[in-house]
Amino acid sequence: MKTYDIIVIGGGMMGTSCAYYLTQEGLKVALIERGDIAGGTVSHTDGYIGASEKQPGVDSMQGAESMKLFDEMRKTFDYDFEYATNENDDPIGFVYFCDSEFEFEKAKEQVAKNQALGIEQYAVDPYILQQLEPNCAKDLTGGMWVPKDGAVCPFRVAFGFVEEAKKTGLLDVFTRTEVLDIKQDPNTKAVQGVVTDKGEFAAPKVVNAAGCWAPFIGAMVGMEVPIEPRFGQLTVSEKTGKITQNRLALEYGYYLTKFFQDGERPIDPLVKAYNVCLNITSDITGNTVVGGCRLFRGFSIKSEYRIISAVAQRGIRYYPMLKDFNCIRSFAGIRPFSLDHLPIVSDVEEVPGFYMACGHEGDGITLGPITGKLISQYATGKPLQFELAKELAWSRWQGRDIAAYKKKEEENSKALKAVEEAYLASLEK
Amino acid sequence: MARIDDEMLVCRCEEVTVGEIREAIAQGAFDVVGVKRRTRAGMGLCQGRTCEKMVQQLISMELGVAPNETGVSSTRPPVRPVSYGALAEGVF
């Protein structure tokens, strides 16, 4: 039987990052993945990274810490993960568009809170907005600028973690290998290894980095993991050059819908029916990625035509020139939503040797590095990267009524479904 | 059969060579989608219409598996390039 210091389950953003940081600590790691590296959520999303798209507090702090690690990685990695920088070699920055006084007021509140935490972001008037994004619509109320947010190619980050970790000689990668069970000591419940469809692996430590599928892995050690899939869909353009001036751009409504406090956006019924909010990036590759939405579709990742249409509408609203460019592809993915909005990153007291690194929803690309780093600190008993990190621990779920959280998520899902159904019914009339 | 030159272009849209595809396979890619993500072969304007068969053949040769065991790229709309303007108006 193959024996390791630690087994990481899942070859996505979290699993590859954990594998990398654990090998940096000198641990011998097996990375076990059912499909291929970067085959799930990480290759079905955009590459936004930054601290601004988070609620002020531990959430924005972990974003800021992760950005520091990205900065380290771009200097030390040989594997190019398309970290986009401006002419001063800074991250390219991020712009939010506010399309109403309501949105602009909400943005200003967020700016004040995050500035107090030392995160650099500014509310900007329409004039400055035009300087930042010359191709954007001319009739916007205002915006928010986050100069230090950036963009990467998400799956190249995951491949990069693997290739850099391999250099230590401490990483073995097992793709097309599915974990079927986790072995535990019958008395202490401590983990002893995993059983896969390709044989058994022994290790005193196991990391659950299975993203949307983390609940299935958690159940193997008797845990009810409060993570459910949320659906997002994006489109890709032909080569356009810089529609966004090497900055990523979002409508502020994206942030608001994330926390279900949309207000009333001035939008078309189609856009509302599919909960679509613009996020747009002109990539280093010359393509522009235009999204997105937040919906509930179970584990399906099928692209839907009506969402493509709504995304195109939103794109043209904020970048009128987009209408003449071709869309060459759409793609959809699921994001592992932790039912209290915060990822779960820590050890698990009731199962010695078991670690959780999952539940990052749409923030997984940003939070990949800090999550791997924290897990490497938990696994080696070193002090955590930042004090507030303890708020991400699994222990917060002890004693909570998970069924109540699930019910709330189901209600959100039903409410969105009702809007969609009402829209579809209106089409038939 | 003579070894195919590393410099030969396979994906014209994204300018990916045989050598880059071999490197991706050496790093762990085992199917068309894995090669695509590691190299961008098939991510361009033609969406792999031209190169997918060649990528399959290369994987087949490098890994010693049958071409039909090398997978296909996932099918995603639109089936041909369509302007965002047309999509916004609803061409479905």
User: Residue A314 belongs to what domain range?
Assistant: 94-147+228-338+415-429
- A254 to chain B nearest CA, in Å? 19
Contact A335, A245 (CB under 8 A): no
Report if residue A405 sits inside a domain: no
Task: Determine, yes or no, domain membership for B3.
Answer: no
Tell me, yes or no, whether B16 lies in a domain.
yes
Report how far residue A179's alpha carbon sits from residue B39's, in angstroms, rounded to the nearest whole number. Answer: 28
Find the CATH number of the domain harbouring B47: 1.10.10.1100
pLDDT at B92: 56
* Block residue for tokens 């700016």: A111
Closest-CA distance, B58 to chain A, in angstroms, reads: 18
Q: Please choose, from the candidates A167, A234, A309, A141, the residue with its C-alpha nearest in 3D space to the C-alpha of residue B88.
A: A309
Comparing CB atoms, the residue among A36, A305, A322 nearest residue B92 is A305
Per-residue confidence (pLDDT) for residue A258, from 0 to 100: 61
> How far apart are the CA of B83 and the nearest CA of chain A, in angstroms?
4
Q: Indicate the number of domains in chain B.
A: 1
On whether residue B77 sits in a domain, the answer given is yes
User: A3 by DSSP, 3-state: which?
Assistant: strand
Other C-beta atoms closer than 10 Å to the C-beta of B87 total 27
| A279 lies in the same domain as A361 | no
ipTM: 0.95
Evaluate whether A114 touches A52 at the Cβ level (below 8 Å). yes
Cβ-Cβ contacts under 8 Å, B38 against chain A: 159
Same domain, A301 and A422: yes
- pLDDT for residue A262 is more than 60: no
The strand ranges marked E within B1-92 are 9-11, 16-17, 82-83
- Residue A259 pLDDT greater than 70, yes or no: no
For A337-396, write each residue's pLDDT tens digit.
999 999 999 999 999 999 999 999 989 999 999 999 999 999 999 999 999 999 999 999
In this prediction, residues A9-32 reach a mean pLDDT of: 98
- Within-domain flag for B15: yes
Domain assignment present for residue B4? The answer is no
Whether B45 is in a domain gets the answer yes
Minimum distance, in Å, between the CA of residue B55 and any CA atom of chain A: 17
Same domain for A244 and A114, yes or no, is yes
What is the identity of the amino acid at A320?
P
Confidence of residue A306 (pLDDT cuts 50, 70, 90): very high
Three-state DSSP at A203 gives coil
pLDDT value of residue B84: 97
Query: Is the sign of the CA dihedral A271, A249, A152, A359 positive or negative?
Result: negative
A423 lies in a domain?
yes
Q: Does A38 touch chain B (CB under 8 A)?
A: yes
DSSP A380: H
d(CA A363, CA A173): 25
Of A332, A324, A323, A356, the residue nearest A342 (C-alpha): A356
Is A276 part of a structural domain of the chain?
yes
Q: Which helix (H) or strand (E) holds A208?
A: strand A206-208
Confidence of residue A182 (pLDDT cuts 50, 70, 90): very high
Chain A residues within an 8 Å CB radius of B88: 309, 312-313, 315-316, 323
Q: Which residues are CB-contacts of A121 (< 8 A; sequence separation ≥ 6)?
A: A52, A110, A111, A114, A115, A144, A145, A146, A147
Per-residue pLDDT at A255: 73
Q: Residue A135: what pLDDT?
A: 96
- CA A210, A215, A217, A223 dihedral sign is positive
- pLDDT for A162: 98
Residue A410 lies in a domain: no
**Range of B56's domain?**
9-89
In a 3-state reduction of DSSP, which class is residue A265?
A: coil
| Window A:224-253, CB contacts with B under 8 Å | 235, 237-239
Check whether residue A3 and residue A102 sit in a common domain. no
State the pLDDT at residue B91. Answer: 58
Domain membership of residue A407 (yes or no) is: no
Tell me if A327 and B83 make a contact (CB, 8 A cut-off): yes
Q: Indicate whether A246 pLDDT > 60.
A: yes
- Taking the Cβ of residue A290 and every Cβ of chain B, the question of whether any pair is shorter than 8 Å is answered with yes
Tokens of A337: 């939503």
Mean pLDDT, rounded, for A59-88: 92
Q: How far apart are CA A389 and CA A58, in angstroms?
A: 7
Note the pLDDT of residue A355.
98
Predicted pLDDT at A85: 83
CATH of the domain at A179: 3.50.50.60
pLDDT(A261) > 60:
no
CA distance linking residue A392 with residue A59, whole number of Å: 9
Question: Per DSSP, what are the bridge partners of residue A330?
Answer: A235
Look at chain A and report how many structural domains it folds into.
2
Same-domain pairing of A264 and A321 = yes
- Could you read off the pLDDT of A158-179 as tens digits, one per residue? 999 999 999 999 999 999 999 9
User: With 60 as the cut, is the pLDDT of residue A247 above it?
Assistant: yes
B1 — pLDDT class (breaks 50, 70, 90): low
Domain membership flag for residue B23: yes
Task: Tell me whether residues B31 and A313 touch, CB distance under 8 A.
Answer: no
Q: Please say if the pLDDT value at position A51 is more than 90.
A: no
